[in-house]
Amino acid sequence: MAKPKIAFFKFSSCAGCQLSVLNIEPVLLDVLGAIDIRYFVMAKRENHEGPYDIGFVEGAVTSPKELLELKKIREECSVLVAMGTCACFGGLPSIKNYSGFSQKELEEKVYTELWDLKSFPAYGIDYYVKVDYYLRGCAIDLGELVTLIKSALKGIHPRFRFHSVCNECKMKENVCLFLTKGKPCMGSVTAAGCGALCPSLNRPCEGCRGPASDCNAASLARSFVEDLGLSKADVVRKFRKYAGNTPEFSKGAEAV
């Protein structure tokens, strides 16, 4: 079987998810042997035009330039993977969508010269094009990345399960941060796959992997207020953070 042609692209993001590709050191050389990386500006000087078998896209789309590129990328890639929370849901850049400032006000706050700046609200790439797979998380989980690559090599659909972080947290028998310490943990409505990383480190889940399937964010938002005494602004900040664009977390932000 010919090696799959792979490409990595970056939009508005921190490059951490691309870097993750190089962070699988123990299997990196094996992976590199099994795939043909055709485009990866961060790691290669020689980069090739499409078409590609799989394209990994990191970052949110925030400008007309990026949107044009994204549409071209979609055409060039048989399989398109949204890599990381920014590409999946808009990620942290999407906070600006709900900051209460207009786009012009935002631009004026950061940039002194506006002569050629064009940007619009930050969305995940599936706002504009069809996405085949999602690697969630800020940054992505290395295990899921390797699973996806293996699935591609085997020619099968990876079955990622997006049930709650709570489930993984229970497997680790962590003391519940919400119930025991009164911390506003979002694990119950956030998609698992991280191995309940933050709660296991005594840190409440911030929802970086986006909503769990069929989650009930509104109910959790009510508990934040009623049980933990969070303010309405606190609740909005919680749900309009990594995946504030999603309808599920929007329900949480709008519930109180």
Determine which residue in the list 4, 6, 11, 207 makes contact with other proteins, applying CB under 8 A: 11
Residues 107-166 that bind other proteins (CB under 8 A): 107, 109-113, 115-119, 122, 138-139, 142, 146, 150, 153-157, 159, 161-164, 166
Quick one: 16 or 74, whose CB is closer to other proteins? 16
Other CB atoms within 10 A of residue 176 CB = 15
Quick one: 128 or 216, whose CB is closer to other proteins? 216
Residues 214-233 that bind other proteins (CB under 8 A): 214-216, 219-220, 223
Q: How far apart are CA 69 and CA 61, in angstroms?
A: 10
Quick one: 95 or 129, whose CB is closer to other proteins? 95
Q: Taking the CA atoms of the chain, what radius of gyration do you get in angstroms?
A: 19
Residues 36-65 that bind other proteins (CB under 8 A): 37, 40-47, 59, 62-63, 65
Number of residues that bind other proteins (CB under 8 A): 106
Cα 132 from chain centroid (whole Å): 14
Cα 114 from chain centroid (whole Å): 29
Q: 58 - beta bridge partners? A: 10, 83
Quick one: 75 or 105, whose CB is closer to other proteins? 105
Q: How far apart are CA 103 and CA 114, in angstroms?
A: 12
Determine which residue in the list 82, 198, 255, 256 makes contact with other proteins, applying CB under 8 A: 198
The helix (run of H) or strand (run of E) holding residue 39 is strand 36-40
In a 10 Å sphere around its CB, with 0-12 CB exposed, 13-18 middle and 19+ buried, how is residue 228 labelled?
middle
DSSP reduced 3-state for 111 = coil
Residues 72-101 that bind other proteins (CB under 8 A): 91-93, 95-96, 99-101
Q: 247-254 and 232-239 helices cross at what angle (nearest 10)?
A: 170
Determine which residue in the list 10, 38, 209, 251 makes contact with other proteins, applying CB under 8 A: 10
Main-chain phi, psi angles of 51, to 5 degrees: -80, 160
Determine which residue in the list 78, 203, 229, 232 makes contact with other proteins, applying CB under 8 A: 203
- The token pair that represents 210 in the structure block: 């986006």
Determine which residue in the list 104, 171, 229, 232 makes contact with other proteins, applying CB under 8 A: 171
Quick one: 80 or 174, whose CB is closer to other proteins? 174
Rounded least distance, CB 80 to other proteins, Å: 18
Q: Does 188 bind other proteins (CB under 8 A)?
A: yes
